[in-house]
A and B are shown apart, each in its own frame.
Chain A
């Protein structure tokens, strides 16, 4: 048992060392740009952990990132490379918004209803690539990238056409009608205050946060406690071994793909139901691709993905800090983020090889 803990310690250390190395690199760049590193640290601190408002913002920013990472990670576990999270959350958000705009329900039903609708929307958008993958062997990377573009075009058309709310809202920005108040995600800052953390209600800590937490717990439970999770991880490790063991590989991959899409459907909830209150094709894009990096850093485990999402949220806020308070351009953060992904993934790999060798020695 003591051994086991040592391995776990190494596994935790790897990303931390990677993080520290990237921060050191960042400081080198700061010096190269001619800025005082002390100022830069101060600027980052101000935008991230200086006040409870800033910290709450990091947490809030991490919610969609976490869900995107979770969706990618779940598919990864079954050896499916779901690049289509992007399109799936655009469609999932759209279907969720439709449920919020057109279906009048009391609030206690309406909230779960729109969440479910968003999941179904995401799963539906994953269904065709999933069927093509399982039935015809067409690689999901190709199809999901295509479907991302189709999704964007589709929501663009719908928001400008049949679902346009321009007349109803008086806005000049293309958008749908407003979502019914019963479906809007209220803030849960009161919950944090009750726990003794003074969070202002200006930060979006809303129903999407518990939804994300529930989704994470659910994914963990499926993967590591349910028999179907065992099947799924087995398929992800080796389809050949799974086939020989009598696991229905195609069925498992189909299910994993659809559920990944369903998780992706949740990514847009915060922005649509808490921030905007309507749907538009201009909701934040690129989260699906962030999700790939987050899943990679988080090693496809729900806990790892949570930390990776927080890390990404931290970096995003840190970038704003540098931009506001120093002469370091925000884009430096993109460079550092990329480097950090590389460094952490490499150090994860090195550590897992080292552990593998140690275990081998122990078993000999």
Chain B
């Protein structure tokens, strides 16, 4: 309640006593047509703490943060910044209240320098001429204070992702943020870069800032958070102190039932090579060699995991196998057949199945029914078409009902459009479709991205199931834990090449992480 409204001005910027409440959200409710995204959510953030916000996808974390940042207006409830009721109508208000947000997708202008990006929107000028002297000095001080490692003169487009994120942090610190929101900041980072980020967190925490940290990675949450707020279906389930929090407890609170993340994944005697990639090269439209001399084999009955920081050629590799006909050198063979001349349909006929990295962009026709999505890719074949090339509705519906039951897709009916489903269930639809084709080679590109713990476990089991059925599985994931726990063999990609292969038994997270950074490349 705004009782002591006469207290110090919110933007005084002075060092607040550690532990004083920076931010309080009380009874925040936000309903969208038909869905209550936030249901009387209350939380508080103290000065000098990292508050982790965890919950499944669609639990309401992003909505809550968008309300805090002024992108949504709550239906009811109050936001108090330093005990003063505040109306946040837009990001501008949020920033003036000392609230800053590092988005999952960076809001930077690539050709601009770091300094230009930092002053963007709050430029200082004299007689209309931009002046950089003061901002430069201020930014340099912030860099020193916060364990950042950026060159203010570098253009952003040439910086690696980890440093771009630092630019984002610097940007909001420059605007005087005391409350910093991080929306899944480690999703794009290597373990080493994540460690650097957490060092910065600790520095900021020591300065009395409050950090809200959204993450799906429970290890990180336990590593850095002081308190952990668990949200499920739009409600705060519980806020835990670090001391009482354990991984199984958080996972259980998140999904409402205990989950086992350990999948029984036995090593099988490998069969013959299914996928053979030999000296594959690819030069993209910009003339950059996205793939260079990539060679590896994936055998029947094994999962081959590609570890690597995103953007090191993984997507290009998958595309070359999945559909691209033009390559710059080398060869890709599936069961002995050269893929370079084959269109997608022929590749699928050979036994290729594909769980694409972006299910909305590549995997599902969102406005189509589940039944239609289930037949995609085999929709031209019997039993889904008659001799007259008309569609056989009954078979299509039956197929859908069977897969919905078999893969435990939570949907009202097979006629429900795909967009109505949650992320995890959408992914299940894709996996059901691809698995039902009985693949010889399964490409799984970021198969658990943005899905909840329960669905993740299910997906892991399906990948292992495919391997047990004799398929060769090629797994690409930005989540190193995922690659480590599922793969029989691991290839590390760096700058378009596989620079190192590990057997499952001999791989350690640290070692793989070093190769991901390219540390041992030369």
Binding site for B on A (CB under 8 A): 3-4, 225-228, 230-231, 233-234, 237-238, 240-241, 243-248, 353-354, 356-364
User: Known: A225-B390, A246-B348. Contact between A360 and B34, CB under 8 A?
Assistant: yes
Q: A226 near B389 (CB under 8 angstroms)?
A: yes
**Which of A234, A248, A364 has the most chain B CB within a 10 Å cutoff?**
A364
Q: B33 near A248 (CB under 8 angstroms)?
A: no
**Which of B323, B368, B411, B425 has the most chain A CB within a 10 Å cutoff?**
B368
Q: Which residues of B contact A227 (CB under 8 A)?
A: 379-380, 384-385, 389-391
Q: Complex: how many Å from CA A235 to CA B391?
A: 17
User: Known: A227-B391, A237-B365. Contact between A243 and B323, CB under 8 A?
Assistant: yes
Q: Complex: how many Å from CA A243 to CA B348?
A: 12
Q: Which residues of B contact A241 (CB under 8 A)?
A: 361-365, 376
Q: B32 near A357 (CB under 8 angstroms)?
A: yes
Partner of A243, one of B344, B385, B390, B410: B344
Q: Which residues of A contact B368 (CB under 8 A)?
A: 233-234, 237
Q: Which residues of A contact B384 (CB under 8 A)?
A: 227
Q: Complex: how many Å from CA A238 to CA B366?
A: 9
Q: Complex: how many Å from CA A358 to CA B421?
A: 11
Residues in B346-376 with C-beta less than 8 Å from chain A: 347-348, 354, 356, 361-368, 372, 376
Q: Complex: how many Å from CA A246 to CA B415?
A: 23
Q: Closest approach, in angstroms, between the C-beta of A346 and any C-beta of chain B? A: 16
Those 6 A-B pairs whose CB atoms lie nearest each other, nearest first: A246-B345, A357-B33, A359-B420, A357-B34, A246-B344, A361-B34
Please give me the residue from chain A that is nearest to B422 by CB atom: A364
Q: Complex: how many Å from CA A364 to CA B419?
A: 12
Q: Which residues of A contact B322 (CB under 8 A)?
A: 244
Q: Which residues of A contact B422 (CB under 8 A)?
A: 363-364
User: Known: A244-B323, A245-B344, A359-B417. Contact between A230 and B372, CB under 8 A?
Assistant: yes
Please give me the residue from chain B that is nearest to A248 by CB atom: B343
Q: B35 near A364 (CB under 8 angstroms)?
A: yes
Q: Which residues of B contact A3 (CB under 8 A)?
A: 412
User: Known: A244-B322, A244-B354. Contact between A225 and B391, CB under 8 A?
Assistant: yes
Binding site for A on B (CB under 8 A): 32-35, 322-323, 343-345, 347-348, 354, 356, 361-368, 372, 376-377, 379-380, 384-385, 389-391, 410-412, 415-417, 419-422, 425
Partner of B33, one of A238, A246, A358: A358
Partner of A246, one of B35, B365, B377, B416: B377
Query: Would you mind naming 19 contact pairs between A and B with Cβ atoms under 8 Å apart?
Result: A227-B391, A231-B380, A238-B361, A240-B361, A240-B362, A241-B362, A244-B322, A244-B356, A244-B362, A245-B344, A245-B376, A245-B379, A246-B343, A356-B417, A356-B420, A357-B32, A358-B34, A361-B35, A363-B411
**Which of A227, A244, A245, A353 has the most chain B CB within a 10 Å cutoff?**
A245
User: Known: A227-B385, A237-B365, A244-B362. Contact between A362 and B380, CB under 8 A?
Assistant: no
Q: A244 near B344 (CB under 8 angstroms)?
A: yes
Q: Complex: how many Å from CA A227 to CA B363?
A: 19
Partner of B391, one of A226, A234, A357, A362: A226
Q: Complex: how many Å from CA A3 to CA B416?
A: 11
Q: Which residues of B contact A234 (CB under 8 A)?
A: 365, 368, 376
Q: Complex: how many Å from CA A243 to CA B319?
A: 11
Q: Complex: how many Å from CA A128 to CA B412?
A: 46
Q: Which residues of A contact B32 (CB under 8 A)?
A: 357
Partner of A353, one of B33, B361, B376, B421: B33
Q: Closest approach, in angstroms, between the C-beta of A226 and any C-beta of chain B? A: 6
Q: Complex: how many Å from CA A27 to CA B412?
A: 45
Q: Complex: how many Å from CA A54 to CA B202?
A: 80
Q: A245 near B421 (CB under 8 angstroms)?
A: no
Q: Closest approach, in angstroms, between the C-beta of A351 and any C-beta of chain B? A: 11
Given contacts A237-B365, A354-B33, A363-B420, 12 further A-B contacts (CB under 8 A): A4-B415, A225-B390, A226-B391, A237-B367, A240-B362, A246-B348, A357-B34, A358-B34, A360-B420, A361-B35, A363-B416, A363-B425
Q: A363 near B364 (CB under 8 angstroms)?
A: no
User: Known: A237-B368, A244-B344, A245-B344. Contact between A362 and B362, CB under 8 A?
Assistant: no
Please give me the residue from chain B that is nearest to A350 by CB atom: B33
Q: Which residues of B contact A245 (CB under 8 A)?
A: 344, 376-377, 379
Q: Complex: how many Å from CA A327 to CA B323?
A: 65
Please give me the residue from chain B that is nearest to A363 by CB atom: B420
Q: Which residues of B contact A233 (CB under 8 A)?
A: 365, 368
Partner of A228, one of B361, B363, B389, B417: B389
Q: Complex: how many Å from CA A235 to CA B348?
A: 18
Please give me the residue from chain A that is nearest to B379 by CB atom: A230
Q: Which residues of B contact A360 (CB under 8 A)?
A: 34-35, 419-420
Q: Which residues of A contact B420 (CB under 8 A)?
A: 356, 359-360, 362-363
Q: Which residues of A contact B380 (CB under 8 A)?
A: 227, 231
Please give me the residue from chain A that is nearest to B376 by CB atom: A245
Q: A362 near B416 (CB under 8 angstroms)?
A: yes
Q: Which residues of B contact A240 (CB under 8 A)?
A: 361-362
Q: Which residues of A contact B348 (CB under 8 A)?
A: 246
Q: Complex: how many Å from CA A225 to CA B390?
A: 5
Q: Complex: how many Å from CA A243 to CA B385?
A: 20
Q: Closest approach, in angstroms, between the C-beta of B395 and any C-beta of chain A? A: 12
Q: Complex: how many Å from CA A192 to CA B184?
A: 68
Q: Closest approach, in angstroms, between the C-beta of B75 and any C-beta of chain A? A: 15
Q: Which residues of A contact B390 (CB under 8 A)?
A: 225-227
Q: Which residues of A contact B410 (CB under 8 A)?
A: 363
Q: Which residues of B contact A225 (CB under 8 A)?
A: 390-391
**Which of A226, A358, A360, A363 has the most chain B CB within a 10 Å cutoff?**
A363
Q: Closest approach, in angstroms, between the C-beta of A359 and any C-beta of chain B? A: 4
Q: Complex: how many Å from CA A225 to CA B384?
A: 11
Q: Complex: how many Å from CA A281 to CA B356?
A: 52
Q: Which residues of A contact B425 (CB under 8 A)?
A: 363
Q: Complex: how many Å from CA A119 to CA B184?
A: 56
Q: Complex: how many Å from CA A226 to CA B389?
A: 6
Q: Closest approach, in angstroms, between the C-beta of B417 and any C-beta of chain A? A: 6
Q: A363 near B385 (CB under 8 angstroms)?
A: no
Please give me the residue from chain B that is nearest to A359 by CB atom: B420
Q: Closest approach, in angstroms, between the C-beta of A254 and any C-beta of chain B? A: 15
Q: Which residues of A contact B415 (CB under 8 A)?
A: 4
Q: B365 near A238 (CB under 8 angstroms)?
A: yes
**Which of B33, B364, B422 has the most chain A CB within a 10 Å cutoff?**
B33
Q: Complex: how many Å from CA A234 to CA B416?
A: 16
Q: Which residues of A contact B35 (CB under 8 A)?
A: 357, 360-361, 364
